[in-house]
Structure 1
Amino acid sequence: MESLCGCVLLAALLSQAAALRCYSCDGDRSCRDTEQCGEQQDRCRTTSLTTLAGSGTSERIQKGCDVAGKPNNSLAFYSHEQVVLLAEEHCATDLCNQGAPQGHPGLRPPHTHLECLSCLSSDHSCSSPPVLRCLNPRDQCMDITAISMPEEFPQDEQRMKGCGQISGCQEPLGFHNQDSFYLLQCCNSSLCNNDTRDYQESRLPLNGVTCYACEGNSSHGCAPENITPLQCQGPMTHCMEAVGSHELAGPGAVLKGCASPAWCDAPYTSVYKRLAGIQARCCRGNFCNSWIQDGSLPPARRSRAGHRLAAQPALLYGAALLAALVLLPNSS
């Protein structure tokens, strides 16, 4: 018995010693507090929010532990007559998140950088968006649309245009079901993000694929009687299903719908839908997303997109659009 207890204690000590340590704070650059990361947290994160206005420049830094799988992203856009800069970086060694993200190296970009239309729908600037010169030579012009249920976003629809570096955006990143529509588009020439389509009033053309669609859990929202057929739009040519834990639906939260191939290989399902411990699968063919049973996905049928991803709700969220939506009321 003593030998067994000794082994258990030794294992606990070794586990504690092996845990990643990260700087942890919410404020300015003078961050010296640290935290020991949890079991599924094997990355350190640094997120910065910078606002440029006539009254001056302000910066807010958040650091802490995070999960693997989230991309390094950066965005720049106009909001409420000021420029908002968002950047997030991840790293995987002890106390590696010491500095600030380098997504925006300079505040006076040369004329060789892209010019992009820039706006945010919450301040009604997308009807006639101003032009923003990108701060980073690697930036693309981007256009992000999010239409979702009211309990997830303050407004029914959010539209953001600006400059940025969004992981996986070489092709359109999109997902939709009967409750949600997300579309992230990037392009590489000045003023190319000039799409004016209202995706609520004018939906994308149907692509001939039909998938199962639902959102909720096996007893409410995704019970058998709630799962409906959905005709897929535009680049969302794959059927997708995912299961995880959600702050509202609880463990066994299920998501089904249509997704673009690029979305299937990116971490945005966990990020946008706030699913923790997500297991996801994409497939080709009508009604092929029917493998989730009793709130679980058979291990052999999980896709790469669902490997060890989790969502951690926070003030500065990993998803670029979601972070902006949460932060903007505090930065205006």
Structure 2
Amino acid sequence: MMDLRVSVVLLFVFLTGGYSLKCYSCMPDSTGSCKAKVETCPDGFSKCAGSIVEQSDGHSLSCYECSSLTGSCAGQTVKTCPSGSTQCESSTAVTQAGDTKVKTKDCAVACQNGSLNFGIVRTTSSCCNTDQCNAQDAPDPSNIPNGKKCYYCDKDKSCSNTVDCSGTEDRCIKATGTFEGQSWVFKGCVSKSGCDATTSVRGIESFTCCEGNLCNGAQSVTQSFLFLCCSLLSYFMMH
């Protein structure tokens, strides 16, 4: 969203000897610049003042919206983003077996380009910041190993499994949090951009990234695996 800044600057001038108060006034043009001039103040004014006023041009970002379990966003629609949304996002998630592909598009407060590999599901996200710029689907996650390996947790809550990272996934990740009183941990591969993210998700207490192979540990977990997948996918795809 673009703002037009309108500033009015009045600089204080003291004049004695019975003269009326005079102040500098400035009304900027569309570029925000102006040339100050001296004006005589009406009777009753005893001080000069300065102020800055911001006016919005009334424009709200618009993005394509889609949530599909069929792997197609052919029926995508345009939505006006809520206040605070600065980007449009598009993401594609594929299960390990390759039998399910999920595509989503929406407005985002903050979005990170890159990919994330949880072992049982891989996802890529594409971000942009102009109206309806997310018309194109995010690409399918790469399945070509890049030489890095990380631990991940399977549906049986074992975190001793290893996964081959791919594409731009140059970090291992470990996330921790609580849900309905239970603690959980989740692990996998992630792009550096995902580690630089600052937006938080409810329930996630912390996440750490590391660069070495298998640097995210192999301890088992005792948590809701499905909830964790959904929470972290929300973090990296929708924020």
Count of matched residue positions in the alignment of Structure 1 and Structure 2: 172
Aligned to 2:128: 187
In structure 1, how many angstroms separate the alpha carbons of the residues matched to 2:130 and 2:116? 25
Q: 2:186 aligns with which of 255, 258, 261?
A: 255
Change (3 A) 1:279 1:268: same
Secondary structure of residue in 1 paired with 2:73: helix
| Alpha-carbon shift at residue 257 of structure 1 (Å) | 0.7
| Alpha-carbon shift at residue 238 of structure 1 (Å) | 0.3
Secondary structure of residue in 2 paired with 1:126: coil
> Unmatched 5+ residue regions in structure 1?
1-108, 150-154, 296-312, 323-332
Larger radius of gyration: 2
Aligned to 1:36: none
> Unmatched 5+ residue regions in structure 2?
1-56, 222-226
In structure 1, how many angstroms separate the alpha carbons of the residues matched to 2:148 and 2:232? 28
Change (3 A) 1:280 1:126: same
Q: 1:287 aligns with which of 199, 206, 214?
A: 214
Whether 1:228 and 2:161 are equivalent positions in the alignment is yes
In structure 1, how many angstroms separate the alpha carbons of the residues matched to 2:233 and 2:151? 28
Change (3 A) 1:239 1:269: farther
Aligned to 2:173: 240
How far does the alpha carbon of each residue in 1:273-320 deviate from its partner, in whole angstroms, 9 at most, with x for none? Answer: x66xx4532101222222x6576xxxxxxxxxxxxxxxxx9xxx9989
In structure 2, how many angstroms separate the alpha carbons of the residues matched to 1:258 and 1:204? 13
| Alpha-carbon shift at residue 244 of structure 1 (Å) | 4.5
Larger RCO (CA under 8 A, 6+ residues apart):
2
Change (3 A) 1:129 1:214: same
Change (3 A) 1:287 1:183: same
In structure 2, how many angstroms separate the alpha carbons of the residues matched to 1:262 and 1:184? 11
8 A contact 1:119–1:126 mirrored in 2: yes
Q: How does 1:1-332 map to 2 (within 5 A)?
A: 113-121=60-68, 126-134=73-81, 136=83, 139-146=86-93, 156-166=100-110, 169=111, 171-172=112-113, 174-197=115-138, 199=140, 203=142, 205-215=144-154, 220-222=156-158, 227-245=160-178, 250-251=182-183, 253-266=184-197, 271=202, 278-290=205-217, 293=219, 321=234
Secondary structure of residue in 2 paired with 1:280: strand
Q: Which amino acid aligns with 2:195?
A: C
| Alpha-carbon shift at residue 270 of structure 1 (Å) | 5.8
How far does the alpha carbon of each residue in 1:78-112 deviate from its partner, in whole angstroms, 9 at most, with x for none? Answer: xxxxxxxxxxxxxxxxxxxxxxxxxxxxxxx96x5
Change (3 A) 1:210 1:318: closer
| Alpha-carbon shift at residue 211 of structure 1 (Å) | 1.5
In structure 1, how many angstroms separate the alpha carbons of the residues matched to 2:164 and 2:71? 31
Which is helix-richer, 1 or 2?
Answer: 1
In structure 2, how many angstroms separate the alpha carbons of the residues matched to 1:132 and 1:270? 23
Secondary structure of residue in 2 paired with 1:194: coil
| Alpha-carbon shift at residue 175 of structure 1 (Å) | 2.4
8 A contact 2:71–2:102 mirrored in 1: no
8 A contact 2:90–2:137 mirrored in 1: no
8 A contact 2:146–2:167 mirrored in 1: yes
In structure 2, how many angstroms separate the alpha carbons of the residues matched to 1:207 and 1:147? 18
8 A contact 2:117–2:189 mirrored in 1: yes
In structure 1, how many angstroms separate the alpha carbons of the residues matched to 2:216 and 2:233? 28
| Alpha-carbon shift at residue 187 of structure 1 (Å) | 0.6
In structure 2, how many angstroms separate the alpha carbons of the residues matched to 1:238 and 1:145? 20
* Aligned-pair identity (%): 27
